[in-house]
Chains A and B, each alone.
Chain A
């Protein structure tokens, strides 16, 4: 069975500093990994995904994520945080043969302070 964990309920960072939002996963085979962001009163917006290839994936709004197979992690990163990045971030995983089924983490609230 596939599962994903986001160990931090909230991450606080000052504007201009680098940010990291952590995600670890568990799957039986090869993982497909996703990050989504949710702003207040909005649905989830797709940020980026890892399928295969380069371990460093670049996505929307300057975000990137690094796939680490040995640590079963897919942490979301951004070199310089903006106040407007403050939102709820969800990591999701799908096993290679799991069809349409995504499993989401519990979410991490990112607070970027001026």
Chain B
């Protein structure tokens, strides 16, 4: 549980606010991920960073902006969000690019008013 941490755990923001989600992994991994978990929907992969370079962006709206300053930290910058963006945002990390078990943080519960 403490291998991947996320802050804040809960966030309420208005549509005009700017906020950031933070993820930190203490596992020595070299890849990090952002997922969106909405009610009654499969997990949606948003971004993948491998060796601090973005390798995947699944057509996520530009109001979500990731940043990976080093292999241990990952941010998700939020601005002008919509109410439908309310969800649980999960961070994960893994080591390598072959058989990758991803390890997840506890998530940030985001509510957009």
Q: Are A and B genuine complex partners?
A: yes
Q: How far is the CA of A32 from the CA of B4 in the complex (A)?
A: 23
Within the complex, what minimum Cβ distance (angstroms) separates A3 from chain B? Answer: 10
Q: Chain B contact residues (Cβ within 8 angstroms of A): what range?
A: 20 to 34
Whether the pair A32, B99 counts as a contact (CB closer than 8 A) is yes
Q: Which 6 A-B pairs have the closest CB atoms?
A: A43-B104, A104-B43, A44-B104, A43-B106, A106-B42, A43-B105
In the docked arrangement, what's the CA distance between A102 and B1, Å?
20
Q: A72-98 vs B: 1/0 string, CB under 8 Å?
A: 000000000000000000100010000
* A51, CB-defined interface residue at 8 Å: yes
Task: Say whether A101 contacts B99, CB under 8 Å.
Answer: no
**List of B residues within 8 angstroms of A105 by Cβ:** 42
- Per-residue contact bits, chain B 33-53, to A (CB 8 Å; 1 contact, 0 not): 100000011110100101000
Contact A43 to B4, CB < 8 A, known contacts A32-B99, A101-B48 = yes
